[in-house]
Amino acid sequence: MATPREFFDGIVKPSYEAWLSDPLIEWKAKTAVSNADILAERLFVYWETRDVTQVAGATSASKYRTHLRQNVCSDFGLIWDVHDGHKHAALDRPNRQVTTADQTGVARMGFGEGGFGEGNYGGSPQIVVQLDDGSKRPLSAIMQNVMAMWDGVLGAMGL
């Protein structure tokens, strides 16, 4: 198995960069999201028999994902939800913020929607995630935060 750093450099980053070069193509966005989520599984499996403290003592990949969402980067939770929603079409996991695959796609965001400074200026089309609470976030901002998280986590692990 490739190390988590090799997976990040060889799979996660290239799929993210391919989506950034074509930001309205939903399959590229969902591929980048899926790979960013899959890295949690790869990290858990890598450390499970080596040093479980590297994955916060988690006893499953799901518990490691929950740790990341709650303690490291809340936007990772949205990546987990978007990936699972894409894979399963609908989610019933209690800690989700997104329930269906239809909540992610090309859309426009108006003034005041999303976080300050996030997304495209002027309401041009982009990939948007609509959370269960009705709020919207541009996927570009979410993924930027998660990519930075992974680079930091891997570095802290010496990978």
- Averaged pLDDT in 10-residue chunks for the chain of 159 residues: 92 98 97 98 96 96 97 98 96 94 93 71 89 96 97 96
pLDDT of residue 113: 72
pLDDT of residue 118: 72
30-33 contacts at long range (C-beta below 8 A, 24 or more positions apart): 30/82, 30/83, 30/86, 30/104, 32/143, 33/79, 33/82, 33/83, 33/86, 33/139, 33/143
Q: How far apart are the first and last CA of the chain?
A: 14
pLDDT of residue 117: 66
pTM assigned to the model: 0.93
Residue range of the domain that includes 89: 4-156
pLDDT of residue 1: 59
Q: 95, 77 in Cβ contact below 8 A?
A: yes
Tokens of 105: 């796609």
Number of domains in the chain: 1
